[in-house]
Structure 1
Amino acid sequence: MIPVTPSIALDERDLEERFIRAAGPGGQNVNKVSTAVELRFRLGGFTQLPDDVRGRLETLAGRRLTLDGEIVIRADEHRTQDRNRAEAQARLVNLVKQASHRPKPRHKTRVPKGEKLKRLEGKVRRGDVKAKRGKVRDHD
């Protein structure tokens, strides 16, 4: 089990790791060694996630969520498999941690009457300034 919060832990049976070749600079190391990690987390697996957390996690995952209900995270920043594996797991834990935070409900507020009047008076003043910008006429 991988702990996320005191009440949420990820079951390791839902994780699947694949090691692939990384792209970018690195010379012979990049061409020969499969150090990049593709971590897949099965949402509908053994891990028990509350429904609200699961919904927020699906939204946060965005395009990393596959049609099969797996979150795919790819890590290839480091030169070793171990560091890339740790990076991918840390990203997954961070994503689940973000999803576990319940957003604060928004309370409607009113704009005070004085603020409305101040705004409208400013608009009237600005309109007067613009109205006085008319063409200059000759008075014979």
Structure 2
Amino acid sequence: MLVISNRLTIPDSELEFQAIRASGPGGQHVNKVSTAIQLVFDYRNSKVLPDSYKQALDNRSHANITAGGKILIKAQQHRSQEMNRQDALERLRALLVAAAFRPKTRHATRPTRSSVRKRLDAKKQHSQRKQMRRAPGND
């Protein structure tokens, strides 16, 4: 079971794990043992995932999201299959949390009286500094 938030958990029945051979360096161990994990999560057909998550994932362009509505994650960082499984689950969790994030809407505000006064004072000082640098008699 994958816990996304205190309201959302994804059961293991909706997650599909496949043990595959890892690529890259590692010699004979990599060539003989299937330690890499490929995690497949069909979010469009998920019964527990809310529609808001599904919409956010559909609108998001990410390398791990397919056009068919599946999330594919390949984990091969670690030497053990169980650690790669945990890594894949954590990456799926991070992707779903990022999809659920809604930035706060910005509300237009007016500058404070103090900030306006400080800005105008700074402009006056800058202007006076420039006037002092001028050659005399060029008014």
The count of residues paired between Structure 1 and Structure 2 equals 136
| CA drift at 1:42 | 0.7
Q: Counterpart in 1 of 2:121? A: 121
Q: For 1:21-100, what aligned pairs fall within 5 Å after superposition?
A: 21-58=21-58, 62-100=62-100
Q: Counterpart in 2 of 1:12? A: 12
Is the 2:3–2:10 contact (alpha carbons within 8 Å) kept by the matching residues of 1?
yes
* C-alpha spacing 1:127/1:18, structure 2 compared with 1 (3 Å): farther
Is the 2:44–2:54 contact (alpha carbons within 8 Å) kept by the matching residues of 1?
no
| CA drift at 1:111 | 1.6
* C-alpha spacing 1:17/1:131, structure 2 compared with 1 (3 Å): farther
Question: What one-letter code is carried by the residue in structure 2 that aligns with 1:31?
Answer: N
| CA drift at 1:93 | 2.8
Give me the CA root mean square deviation. 2.9
| CA drift at 1:100 | 4.5
Q: Does 1:112 align with 2:112?
A: yes
| CA drift at 1:38 | 1.7
Is the 1:35–1:80 contact (alpha carbons within 8 Å) kept by the matching residues of 2?
yes
Deviations 1:88-115 (A, max 9, x none): 1232234334545655554443320220
Deviations 1:15-40 (A, max 9, x none): 22233332344332123222111212
Structure 2 stretches of 5 or more lacking a match? none
Is the 1:18–1:37 contact (alpha carbons within 8 Å) kept by the matching residues of 2?
yes
Structure 1 stretches of 5 or more lacking a match? none
Is the 1:11–1:46 contact (alpha carbons within 8 Å) kept by the matching residues of 2?
no
Q: Percent identity?
A: 38
What is the TM-score normalised by the length of structure 1? 0.72
Give the match's secondary structure for 1:62.
Answer: coil
Give the match's secondary structure for 2:7.
Answer: coil
* C-alpha spacing 1:110/1:63, structure 2 compared with 1 (3 Å): farther
* C-alpha spacing 1:132/1:94, structure 2 compared with 1 (3 Å): same
